[in-house]
Amino acid sequence: METEGPGTSRTDLEAAVDGVMKHVTRERLLHAVTGVVSIPSPTGAEAPLAGWIVDELASPRVRTTVQRLDESQANAVAVLPGTANGSSLLLYAPLDTFTTGDPAHDIPGAGAWMRPDMLPRATVRGDLVQGLGAGNPKGHAACVMAAMQALDDAGIELAGDLVAGFGAGGMPTFAIPGVGQPGRANTGHGVGAAYLLERGFTTDHAVIAKPGWNVSHEEVGLVWLDIVVPGEHTYVGSRHRLPYRNAVALAGVVAGRLEDWLADYALRQETGTMRPQGIVSSVRGGLDHLAASTAASVRLRADVRLTTEQTPAGVTREVRAFVDSLGRELGADITVEQVAGIPASHTPPESPVIRAAVASWEAVAGQAHVPIEANSGATDANVLRMRGVPTARVGMPKVLAGLDGEPVDFTLGMNLVDLAEARRLVEILVRTVLLLDRQAPAAPRVR
């Protein structure tokens, strides 16, 4: 008889999968997706959505809790207890959206106007659901919800605890003024995932649901840098009479040169499945109310990704060395300061959770798994791995056309989900749970 792992027959596994997937109906997926999309959850204010998820997942067998970071920000957690003290598994997805859904914060930075897909309002057409975060991350959170509910409804008894975790603060962002608890600075960059593990829900393995029709075992990290370009604060009427150096114009030169350098940096640092990109993301300087003056300085902010062979401190030094050289060329004392940093992370491909996720992906996709290369996206998987939890990442492919067949840009890609693809992801999650649970847990070390 063919087997899938220690003590696991293929026939038994398939029967178990079929028994669970009978409970993953289109209605269940649609309810989960439209529910999470229609409750706003900008970074720092995820508590209402966390509360809704907990209400949806609570059952006689499933313990749930709203895990508050403060009055506005919270994780949602649901636990299906194991019956035999086996290895535990976390199915994880973040809750917060890349943009806020509020034009006061999103316009003009994310668009010239608030398109329908940028609003926290679900629109359904066939199997497509559109709305803020419908694809990333909320559609993936809905898949974790559906997997947990189906395993519960099917009466599956697992040897180890299954934890469904929905994390606040998963986006790479600082606090958004006017959103969430006043005075909180650390509302993003994985604070919910860290709090989840540190406060009672550390598991043996984890699977994070995030976009990408693939199983990833490693991810780039990031470092955020402020590059301060100096200038002369002076008056337009005295440009021809007093010392003049326009920091805005000089910052434009610096930004262009840095963008070129970052394109080369990504190729130089590529390793494994990672090609770490970088961008100059924002510029700040000058007095908006006083257009008659030049700025004493202009700040450029950059996001530079890094691989497992690098560190945030090392990347900061590398960028600083380039900027110092550029400053000497331009005759300007340009400074570089690190304002955020998260290391890259790696789980060995032979890890049980990676092997189980790959086998599950292959069973659903009907083809051999080939890792996608040149990746530069970072998620809470880094936070989970940094806290000692081997983690696989798996997700849905992005939808290729909008509700009316329109091309899908970055924003629309974040805000669309296909229910058929969602069901396939749920099956991958269910298979991974069942495969891992059928494997004998590692023996504890004795010293």
> How many other C-beta atoms are found inside a 10 Å radius of the C-beta of residue 6?
8
Q: What is the pLDDT of residue 327?
A: 98
Q: What is the pLDDT of residues 46-75, one digit of tens each?
A: 999 999 999 999 999 999 999 999 999 999
pLDDT for residue 440: 54
With a cut of 50, which residues of the chain have pLDDT below it? Answer: 1-7, 442-447
- Torsion 361-362-365-371 (CA) sign: positive
Burial status of residue 174 (CB atoms within 10 A of its CB: 0-12, 13-18, 19 or more):
middle
List pLDDT tens digits, range 374-400.
999 999 999 999 999 999 999 999 999
Q: What is the pLDDT, as a whole number, of residue 438?
A: 87
Is 407 in contact with 221 (CB distance < 8 Å)?
no
* Sequence-ordered alpha helix ranges (H) in 232-287: 247-269
Specify the pairing of strand 162-167 against strand 89-94: parallel
The whole-number pLDDT of residue 207 equals: 98
Q: Is 341 helix (H, G, I), strand (E, B) or coil?
A: strand
Separation of alpha carbons 226 and 224, rounded Å:
7
* Torsion of the alpha carbons at 330, 334, 340 and 346, rounded to the nearest 10: 40
Q: Are 232 and 245 in contact (CB under 8 A)?
A: yes
Q: What torsion, rounded to 10 degrees, do the Cα atoms 136, 141, 142, 143 define? A: 100
Domains of the chain in start order, with CATH, are 3-219+345-437 (3.40.630.10), 221-342 (3.30.70.360)
pLDDT at site 447: 43
Give the model's pLDDT for residue 9: 67
pLDDT for 347 equals 98
For residue 271, which phi and psi values (nearest 5 degrees)? Answer: -155, 150
* Structural contact between residues 245 and 231, judged by C-beta atoms closer than 8 angstroms: yes
In angstroms, the CA 202 to CA 221 distance is: 21
CB-based burial of residue 112 (10 Å sphere; 0-12 exposed, 13-18 middle, 19+ buried)? exposed
For residue 134, give the nearest of 273, 261, 34, 237 by alpha carbon. 34
Of 278, 270, 284, nearest to 227 by C-alpha is: 284
pLDDT at res. 297 = 98
Report the pLDDT value the prediction gives residue 11, as an integer from 0 to 100. 87
The order of strands in the sheet holding 416-418 is: 123-125, 128-130, 416-418
